[in-house]
Every structure is written in C-alpha cells, then in structure tokens.
Amino acid sequence: MVQFETPARSESPSGSSASDEHNNQSTKQSSKRHKKRSKRNSDAEESKSLPINGGPAKAERRSSVSKPARDFRDKPEPAPKKKKRKTAVTPTLPPVDAEAESSTRSPSPVIDFDGLSRPSLGTRERLEESPEQKQERLERMKGAVRTLLECVGEDPDREGLLATPERYAKAMLFFTKGYQENVRDIVNGAIFQEGHNEMVIVKDIEVFSMCEHHLVPFTGKMHIGYIPSNAVIGISKLPRIAELFARRLQIQERLTREVANAVMEVLKPQGVAVVMESSHLCMVMRGVEKSTSSTITSCVLGCFERKEKTRNEFLSLIGVNRR
C-alpha cells in the first residue's frame, strides 16, 4: 500500500507580514501612551512645586477618593499649652507690734489713720504743737504775707492792708485744716451692721479745696456711692471724709482717689465709686482763662470696677449719663 506524505501547512507570506505589522503598531501606540502619561505626570509634579503669585509653594494634596483633599492651611492650629503657675514664696517678715500697727497705718498705702494721707515734714508738728508754738507759727506766716504784699508793690502799712497778713494767715490755716484731722476721729465708730447690700449714694457734696500748684481754690461737687457688705456707715460721714481730704493742698485726681480709698478701707464694702466735677480758678482767672470749663474725675473700686452694669447704674443715678 502506497502512503502519501502530507505536506506541512505553511503560513502564507502575506498573513505573517500582516500580524507583524499589527504587533509593531500596538507597540508604538503603547509606547506613545506611556510617554504621554509620563509627560503629564512630570508636568503635574513640576506645577505642584511652582509658587503661586509669588507665594510659597503649594504642598502636595492627598490623592484620596473617599476623603476630600485638604489644604494644609485649613488644618487647625494646635491648642496652646497651659502654663503652670509658679507659687511665689512669701518672705518671712519680722514680727510687728499689732497694736502699734493698727493705730497708725491702714492696709492701704494711701490712707493714714493717724492723721495724714501724705506724711510730710512739719505736719505732725502742727498737729501736736502747744499754744505758744501755734502763736509762733502764726507770726511767721504773717511776716511771709507782709513780704508778699511788699513784693507785689503794695504798702502793707496802709489802712486797708494793716490786718491782711493776720487774716490771710488764719484763712490759710483754715483752708488746710485737714492736715490736723484723721479718718478714725471723723468716722467715730459710726458703722452699723444692718445686713444691707444695695447701693448707697450721697450726691452733690460741695467741695472746696486749694490747688497745690498755684495756691488758688478749685470748687465743685462730689458724688460718693458704695455697695455695703452688710455694714453701713453714717450718712454724714461721707461728706465729712470728703471735707477732710479737700481741706489740704490738693489736685482733683488725687482728692477723688483718696476719698474712695478711705471709704474702702474704713467700711470694707463690695465696692466704692467716687465722681467729682469742679471748676479750677487756676485756669479761670489765669492761664487759658476758660471760665465755662469743668473737670470731671472718677475712681471706682471693687464691684464698680469689675461690673460695667453696676458702674453704669451709679453714673445714671448721679446724672452723669443723662448729660
């Protein structure tokens, strides 16, 4: 039996060349896509690192789909750390005689229960002088006034000026009689436990004082208010305290503060408020010569300083807010 050999299937030249061409095209397209993708990625990286409008370079955003991208500037600042307070070591002071301390000085550096709020040379001598020393002081003052009259061109021996040195010396001693008074004697124990905790005001207290810069008067009205801590003071004591400090060589700012501190130290209330309005002859009769001007000063302590509502109630009641 004759066997015929089956010839092997041979690929046609045209078919093989077509497949090769198709493979080459696919390779070229994939390489082009790869190049384009690489170029896009490099451009994106470069654009991220570039500054915007001259500002700092933007930080890279998170490539997350589930969570929105977040700018680094939107991140909340960390909470500041609380500083621990250092407990100050109180130095041990030498023992002080309690009786002597309570009889001379109050806790306030401004008020002196022994008579003077601003101790100065000579004032204590005036407080404790004998009748002979008092007469000697008066004679020295009369001589000084006579010298002033001579210096301004007057004749101190003419009829109208013969008694002027003595009159002026006595008047000046009266204008400054507050140097011989003290807060403890003025109050005289007139503090009463009444359980009252509402505002108390004494307004329109007439005040006459001497400007320490020119030795001419300034006059006006003072309004004093306080909120008790159960204890109240005799109503007349508030004008007396104002008179005590006004009858000294003063400036209005210090006078207002001293009255407020005195009431605060004597009564220990929840708060004290003092307002004073006055006209100064040193700027009416001389200087700028403004006769219609007035000066208003205030001092608020305790709850009047801390609470605006309380302070406004006081100002409203004395009539300051309505002007």
- Under a CB-based contact definition with an 8 Å cutoff, are residues 271 and 302 in contact? yes
Give strand ranges (E) for 212-261.
217-227, 230-233, 249-250
Report whether 182 contacts 245 (CB < 8 A): no
Question: What are the φ/ψ torsions at residue 206 (nearest 5 degrees)?
Answer: -70, 135
Distance between CA atoms of residues 126 and 148, nearest Å: 23
Residue 28 clears pLDDT 80, i.e. is over it: no
Structure confidence at residue 287 (pLDDT)? 87
CA angle 160, 166, 167 (to 5 degrees): 70
Residue range(s) of every CATH 1.10.286.10 domain in the chain: 123-179
- Fold classification of 123-179 (topology level): GTP Cyclohydrolase I; Chain A, domain 1 (1.10.286)
**Three-state SS at 278:** strand
User: Which run of H or of E encompasses 16?
Assistant: helix 13-49
User: For the structural domain made of 189-318, what CATH number should be given?
Assistant: 3.30.1130.10
Q: Give the residues across from 225 on adjacent strands.
A: 201, 273
pTM over 0.75: no
- Residue 14: count of CB within 10 angstroms of its CB: 7
More confident residue, 125 or 57: 125
Summary mean pLDDT of the chain: 78
Residue 104 has pLDDT above 50, yes or no: no
Predicted local confidence at residue 101, as pLDDT:
43
Domain with CATH 3.30.1130.10 in the chain: 189-318
Confirm if 115 and 127 have CB atoms less than 8 A apart: yes
